[in-house]
Amino acid sequence: MDKFTYFWSLIIVASTLFMIGAYKNVFLKIYYIVWVNRRVQEVNGAIDPVVTMPEVSTIINEAVMQNRIKNRSTFLWSRHSLIFFGFMVLFFFDCIYTVFGHYMHHYLHYEYFISGPGRAFLKFCMELSGAVLLLGLTAGLIHRIIFAKQERTLIDIKLIVLLWVVTLTGFLTEAFRLSIEPNDPFISYSFIGGNLAPVLQNLHLSGSNAAAAVWTFHATVTVAFFAYIPFSKFVHIMVAPIGRSITQNGNYGQMKRERITEGLL
């Protein structure tokens, strides 16, 4: 079974799981909420609609600027921002690299992202965002284990370790690949993987078998992580921006309470 078949099957399984989870834990929830809100409105004979759509600034503040964490502490916010921006950028370029690079090269012989300047750009961006992500995750891991006693629940540690492993093995995969392909023309753009490769060689760890094993491991945990998103606390990636934008830092609750109070007049 070659790499592509393996990865394809992984993606199909994981996407199915992801879709099931997203349907059950995100779509159905939001569908229910919209239904129940409308029903409350109908039963109470309310005139005004309950939902006022959030302003663009609210959405940016909540979904991008992570206001809910900014309100708590600057340290937590910077930590989470490293993870958030690192993850988002990495995920975006990874998708481009996988689809436009590997698959389009594999099936359509499209070269720009596999041997053209696109590859250099993607490599650099992915290395950078991966480093940012790893930095944030490591900070989070250390902070949770050492300082934040109340957050040292298994459920939290497990998740952060999973994502940490995903990121770390990503760098290792790149390093192993470069260690057996030292003449890669874009090696200088992989500023972490490229520097790790000679270290691996010196340690006599490199070899095509090892590289394949690391790649397989990385591909598996990455896809597992993807499938795990809607079933775990990672679901906040999808629901928190929605929920927080609509509830507008609690103002939505205030509006609902005022509407009830108005009904008492």
Partner 1 sequence: MSQYGFYFDKEKCIGCRACEVACQVWNNAVQTVKWRNVSCLTRGTYPEVTGVNASLACMHCAEAPCKKACPRQAISKEEDSGGVTVDQSRCVGCMLCLWACPFGAPQMGVKGRMEKCTFCEERPVGKIKRACEEICPQQAIVSGRIEDLVLRSKQVVAERLSYDKQAEVILGHEEK
Binding site for partner 1 (CB under 8 A): 25-26, 29-30, 32-33, 36-37, 40, 68-69, 71-72, 150, 153, 155, 230, 233, 235-236, 239-240, 242-244, 246-247, 249-250, 252-258, 260-262, 264-265
DSSP annotation of 50 reads S
Closer by beta carbon to partner 1, 131 or else 246: 246
| Cβ 118 to partner 1 shortest distance, Å | 36
| Cβ 245 to partner 1 shortest distance, Å | 9
Closer by beta carbon to partner 1, 141 or else 240: 240
**CA 242, CA 240: separation in Å to the nearest integer?**
5
What DSSP line would sit under 13-32, residue for residue? HHHHHHHHHHIIIIIHHHHH
| Cβ 40 to partner 1 shortest distance, Å | 5
| Cβ 10 to partner 1 shortest distance, Å | 25
Those residues with Cβ within 8 angstroms of residue 196's Cβ, 6 or more apart along the chain or in another chain: 171, 172, 174, 175, 178
Closer by beta carbon to partner 1, 185 or else 250: 250
Q: Check: CB of residue 162 under 8 Å from CB of residue 225.
A: yes
Those residues with Cβ within 8 angstroms of residue 249's Cβ, 6 or more apart along the chain or in another chain: 58, 62, 67, 68, 71
| Cβ 250 to partner 1 shortest distance, Å | 6
**CA 74, CA 102: separation in Å to the nearest integer?**
39
Closer by beta carbon to partner 1, 81 or else 201: 81
Closer by beta carbon to partner 1, 135 or else 246: 246
